[in-house]
Structures are given as structure tokens and as C-alpha cells.
Amino acid sequence: MVVRALPRLETRASHRAVTVPAVVLGVALVPALLDLLSLVQTAVTLGAALEVASGVAMLSLLLVWLRFPRTDWLAAASFAALASFAMRLVGADVAPLLSLLSIVALGIGGAFAPSELSPAAV
């Protein structure tokens, strides 16, 4: 019986650092900031502005996720923003929590970290 050893091919998954543009991160923070403003200043009504800001944040996160479809944390952030936008259109009280959930998903993924310290760059 002849046994022949084949050299092991080393395959590596290419880790490409996912960098979310600063504009998208800023836009994702706007709905939460407006929620905080409406919570602190009860006399200010920001209904339409909140819906528009949530829609723009959702759209920008979805576009970045379409650019990097293999990032789970970006998918989670964009779906949380989508749910927040849908709940704002319906008028549900859970919309600000979903907006914060999208920010938490971005933070877990390392979107707020500098590019040289990002876990995706390692």
C-alpha cells in the first residue's frame, strides 16, 4: 500500500476592513439625538423630523450594508434602523429603542473605532 502525503494548501479568508463613512455614522446618530431632544424638551414636537431622520439613517445604513454584505453587525444595524423607521411610521413607542439598538450594533461591530484599531482590520 502506497501512501502519499500531499502538501497542505494554506487558504486564508481575506479580512478586509469594513470602514463605515463618518457621514453615515453621523446620520445614524441623528434619530437618537432627536429622540433625546424630544424627551428633554417636551414642548418641542419633532414628529415629521424624526421620521425623516430615521428614514435617512435607515437608507444610508442599508446602502453601506449592500456594499459590504458579509458583515453581520452592519446587517443588524440596518435592520434595527429599518424596524425603527417602520415603528415611527406606525406611531409605536418602541421606535427610540430600536434606534438605539442600531447604534449599539454599530458599536459592537467596531464602526466607531479608529481604522487602525478596528477588530476587522486585524
pLDDT tens-digit series, residues 86-110: 999 999 999 999 999 999 999 998 8
Q: Which of 2, 1, 63, 3 is nearest to 28 (CA)?
A: 63
Structural domain contains residue 5: no
Please write the tens of the pLDDT for every residue from 16-49: 567 889 999 999 999 999 999 999 998 888 889 9
**What's the confidence (pLDDT) of residue 119?**
57
Contact 46, 38 (CB under 8 A): yes
Q: How many CA atoms lie within 13 A of 44 on its CB side?
A: 11
> DSSP secondary structure string, 52-86?
HHHHHHHHHHHHHHHHSTT-HHHHHHHHHHHHHHH
Structural domain contains residue 90: yes
Q: Could you give the number of structural domains in the chain? A: 1
Stated pTM of the model: 0.78
Structural domain contains residue 8: no
